[in-house]
Structure 1
Amino acid sequence: MQLPKPTSRLQTIGLILASVLLANILATWVLSANLSSGVYPSDADAIMIPIANNFLISLFILLLGATGALLPHQRFFWRLVSRVLVATAVLYSLALVASWCYPDHYLAAASFIPMLMVCIWALWLPSTKTRCNHNHLSA
């Protein structure tokens, strides 16, 4: 099975951006729902701290992933730098998923899994080569 490749680096960045936005929206919704259902004390005004933390880490992941995707892949040095940047984004995404793995927050952890998967996919992309199908269909 071969995974589809984006036709441009901008599509890779678009996927990372979309997954970052989706993850932050869902995590904010989970935290707000937990506040409404009484998981946190009603006077807990510190709910903005984890929301801002998620946003800043996600912004950093977006920056790493976008920079890694935009670097040229012709020279070994730039391929290596690109891989290191995207691998760092993968590790930060994994840490973000793991940081929300506790009761009443599993859905928040799950909301960051698509971002992790997109970063892993972006890390895998430079190592794959496009294959041309030379089999011609005869009429």
Structure 2
Amino acid sequence: MQLPKPTSQRQAAGLILGTVVLANLLTTWVLMANLDAMVYPSDADAIMVPVVSNFLNSLCILLWASMGVLLPRHRLGWRIASRIVLGVAALYTLALAVYWWYPFHYAAGASFLPAVAACAWVLWLPASKQPAPGTNMASS
């Protein structure tokens, strides 16, 4: 049994974008719930620093992932570069998940695991959509 793959680079980018946005929403929700439960001091700056830091880290993830997804895949050099950049995005996302992995924040850390899986899954997309040699494209 094979796992289904996104049929286009646009769908792959949308998958990664969606998982990172959902992870940010869940992380913000966890931080606000912890603030309401008095886990943190009630100072507003104490909560905005991790929210903004998480947002900026997510922008870096999206930059790496979108660059890796949107690179052309018709030549070997571009395919290798694409895989390297997507690998960096997956490792960066994994580092962000581990960053949040401490008491009262496990849900925030776990929220980034689908984004790690999405980046790793997109790494194994088909290399290109070029027709097989000898196929006549005029008849289709």
TM-score by length of structure 2 reads 0.87
Show the counterpart of 1:13: 13
The 1-side partners of 2:24 and 2:87 are apart by 21
Report the CA distance between 1:128 and its aligned residue: 9.6
1:124 is paired with a residue whose SS is: coil
Moved beyond 6 Å, runs of 4+ = none
Q: Is there any run of 5+ residues in structure 2 with no aligned partner, and where?
A: 130-140
Report the CA distance between 1:44 and its aligned residue: 4.9
Identity of aligned residues (%): 59
> What does residue range 78-97 of structure 1 map to in structure 2 within 5 Å?
78-97=78-97
* Count of aligned residue pairs for this structure pair: 129
| Matched letter for residue 104 of structure 1 | F
Report the CA distance between 1:126 and its aligned residue: 4.0
Q: Give the superposed CA RMSD.
A: 1.6
> What does residue range 14-53 of structure 1 map to in structure 2 within 5 Å?
14-53=14-53
Report the CA distance between 1:123 and its aligned residue: 1.2
> What does residue range 1-139 of structure 1 map to in structure 2 within 5 Å?
1-126=1-126
Report the CA distance between 1:46 and its aligned residue: 2.2
Q: Is there any run of 5+ residues in structure 1 with no aligned partner, and where?
A: 130-139
The 1-side partners of 2:102 and 2:79 are apart by 37
The 1-side partners of 2:23 and 2:16 are apart by 10
The 2-side partners of 1:32 and 1:57 are apart by 19
